[in-house]
Every structure is written in C-alpha cells, then in structure tokens.
Amino acid sequence: MSAQPLRIGIHDISFATAHQVLDLSEIAEHSGVDVGKFYVGIGQSEMSMPAADEDIVTMGAEAAARILDRHGAEGIRTLLFATESGIDQSKSAGVFVHGLLGMGENCRVVELKQACYSATAALQFALGVVARDPREKVLVIASDVARYALDSSGEPTQGAAAVAFLVTVDPGLVEIEPVTGLHTDDIHDFWRPNHLSTALVDGKYSLAAYLRSLEGAWNEYQSRGGVPFEAIDRFCYHQPFTKMAVKAHDRLNTIVGSPLDRDQRRAQIEASLHINRRTGNSYTASIYAGLLSLLNDDGTGDGAADGADLAGRRIGFFSYGSGSVSEFFTGVVQPGYRALLRADEDAAVLDDRVSIDYARYRALHESVDEVRGEDILTAAETSGPFRFAGITDQMRQYQRRG
C-alpha cells in the first residue's frame, strides 16, 4: 500500500509596508497628467514610500514578526529572503532579519534573486525541504522597494512592501499542488545595473514579454498534466500595477478560448488587486500580497470584492520576474482559513501610513543617491517596530523598538 502524498503549502501569511504613502494625484499634478491615467489606466491609487530609516530588512522583519508572534521560531530551520533590492552584495538580508527576530542559530538563511520571480522560487524550494523532512518549517520573506527614475514612465508604478509566509505540512491556508509550468527567456525588458539605484525598463516591451511568458508557462503547465482553466476559481498574478493582472487574465482567457464575459473575468481576479493598488509595485512580494488580498476579502470594507468563501476553491498563480523567469502553478484554499487571517491588522497597516506630499517624496527619492558609502546616522522618522539606524564602519545597523 503506497503512503498518502504529503499536503504541503502556506500555513500562515503576513504583510508589512513602508510607513509613508504618496497619493498618485501628487505625481499627476506635478507632471500635468490626468490622474485618471493612474487611478484607472494603470489601476494604481497610492504608493508606499520608505523613509530614510526603512528598507527591505525593516519591512521584512515586521511581516515575519507577526508570524513568529503566533507560531514561535521553534522548528524553523530555513529562512529564504527573496528580493531584488538587496542591501549588501554578500550578506543575505535574511541574516539581519534572523538577528532582529532572535531566531535560533540552527538555521540556514539565504537570499534569492531573479527580479519579481524569486519569492516563487523560494516557495518551491521550501516545498522541497518540507517534502524531504515533514518536521521542517520554512519561513519565506519577500521584500522589495520598487524605484524608477523621477519623471520617468515607470515612476507611478513605484512602491514598497514585504510579505512573509510559513511553509509546512498540513497547511492552514493554501495547499500548493505539484504541477507547475515554467518559462525562461534571456531578455532585457527591465533590469538594474549595479551602479544604479533605479531600474531601467523598456515599458511596452516589458508588457509584451510578461504576456508572452504567461502563454509559455501556461502551455507547459498544461503539457505536464495541469488542471484545465475551468477547474480554477480565482487567479492571482504578479502585479507591477493592477491593470497588468487584468490584461494578463484577459490574455489567458483568449489563450484557452474561454467564453467568460468581462465581468466574469474580472470577478476571478478583483479581490486580489486591493493591496497592490495601495502599495504600488513590491516586486517579489506583489503576487503574495495579491494572495493575501484575495484571502482577506470578505465582501466588506474599503476595496471589497465579492467576499466569496474560498474554502476548497483552487487559485491559479502566475509569477513573473523580468529578465525573464515565470511560473504558473495552483493551490487549494483550506477549510477554516478565515480564522487564521489578520484582515483588520492588514487594513490598518495600509490605513495608518502617514501621507506625504510631492516635495517630501521627491526629497526622499533624491536622498537615496546621496549616500555614497560614508558612515551615517538616520533620523528616527517612522514609528514601525524595526528601523534602519545607519551605517557604522561600513556595517548596517538595525534596531528593534520595544
């Protein structure tokens, strides 16, 4: 008699973002663009903007702390930190988080990079670790600050956020299914050379590359025995801006010859768009912020969708990272998932951000390039639980409050 296959997936998920926010009307006014282009055309209303004492480590630690507060660090022997806005060329940002959270020393910690895709690589690697030894728990942190040049076309799609999730057997939230479809293509649609703090992008080409990659990953997913389109209830896409998910889902419907009308297609993705619309692009974290947004939707509150109970329903995920690597895979939402969510806390994370005006945003943006390797002390500008305190003897210093 063969053993039952292990059920492995996401047991808990948590979210953090920067503590300041810029409404995109500020950028529209500065650049003389109709704000409808941002609110409707690209589907973005706000962007999170890190202060000088915030970065991928402070956001990642804040998201992960919520998970450790609930489950403890016991049994977590792997911490995977996915990012494309790394803060050191050698040391993993995850090691800073491991220290800030006081995790045990018997732990492997590593940083992963492939544009926005690497958190999905981390998820797949985590599933492998747990499959090999079901006693293992893996903490995945995806954290990024998306930066484009001032006055560039990518500027309104900037943003920042972190998502942390715990991968275990018998997951409480989403069991990840084994079939996946992959697509890799050596292109330059979006990239960031080592000497730049802002990304370079060929905007229109990047949209076409994303959609072509979706087709490639979907086709491989099907050829490897994936479920048909009709067996998937909700879809969760990488969201550089939320309209991209709308375009992607329309394209997938065309690829499969689906008869769904515009409203039916929209209903399959709407609930996944709420968080990203307000944080802006968070690169590696974006698709998992989409998952949290989808799970949190109970039909009430700001930005609510249909509030459907998703227990037993299948989600299709499309993870895309420029350059490019992508993956299509699926997961099934678990009974009782709602009891494990922190929807009010997540709403407060967004609502409690401090609004800044255009002048403050521009000064913060420009200040990033003023730091040239000398020691600095950062002012305590935000009230988050973790802060980047500065650089001493070339070493980054972080503090935990309280």
**137-146/234-237 β-pairing:** unpaired
Match 């939707």 to its residue by tokens.
297
116 contacts ligand HMG (rule: CB under 6 A): yes
Considering 11, 19, 98, 238, which one is annotated as catalytic? 238
What is the per-residue DSSP string for 41-67? IS---EEE---TT--HHHHHHHHHHHH
Q: Among 111, 74, 48, 31, which Cα is nearest to 289's?
A: 48
Asked about 370 being catalytic, the answer comes back as no
The distance of closest approach from Cβ of residue 217 to ligand HMG in the complex, given in angstroms and rounded to an integer, is 14
Q: Which of 30, 87, 99, 203 forms a contact with ligand HMG (CB under 6 A)?
A: 203
* Side-chain-side CA neighbours of residue 274 (13 Å): 25
H helix or E strand, kind and range, residue 235: strand 234-237
Q: How far apart are CA 109 and CA 219, in angstroms?
A: 34
Amino acid residing at 201: V
What binding mask, one character per residue, do residues 227-256 give for ligand HMG by CB under 6 A, x or -?
Answer: -----------x-xx--x------------
Size of the site for ligand HMG (CB under 6 A): 29
The distance of closest approach from Cβ of residue 42 to ligand HMG in the complex, given in angstroms and rounded to an integer, is 5
Q: Which of 14, 20, 92, 157 forms a contact with ligand HMG (CB under 6 A)?
A: 157
Stretch that binds ligand HMG, among 50-58, 196-204, 301-309, 384-392 (CB under 6 A): 196-204
Residues 6+ apart with CB under 8 A from 221: 179, 180, 181, 328, 329
Q: Which is nearer to ligand HMG, 147 or 238 (CB)?
A: 238
Q: Among 72, 27, 65, 79, which Cα is nearest to 49's?
A: 27
**325-333/174-184 β-pairing:** antiparallel
Asked about 84 being catalytic, the answer comes back as yes
What binding mask, one character per residue, do residues 271-310 give for ligand HMG by CB under 6 A, x or -?
Answer: ----------x-x---------------------------
The distance of closest approach from Cβ of residue 242 to ligand HMG in the complex, given in angstroms and rounded to an integer, is 11
Considering 19, 111, 116, 365, which one is annotated as catalytic? 116
322 contacts ligand HMG (rule: CB under 6 A): yes
Stretch that binds ligand HMG, among 88-96, 320-328, 332-340, 385-393 (CB under 6 A): 320-328
Burial grade of 227 (CB within 10 A; 0-12, 13-18, 19 or more): middle
28 contacts ligand HMG (rule: CB under 6 A): no
Contact 340, 166 (CB under 8 A): no
* Structural tokens at position 189: 């649609």
The distance of closest approach from Cβ of residue 204 to ligand HMG in the complex, given in angstroms and rounded to an integer, is 6
317 contacts ligand HMG (rule: CB under 6 A): no
Active site residues: 84, 116, 238
Residues that bind ligand HMG (CB under 6 A): 34, 36-37, 40-42, 84, 115-116, 153-154, 157, 189-190, 201, 203-204, 206-207, 210, 238, 240-241, 244, 281, 283, 320-322
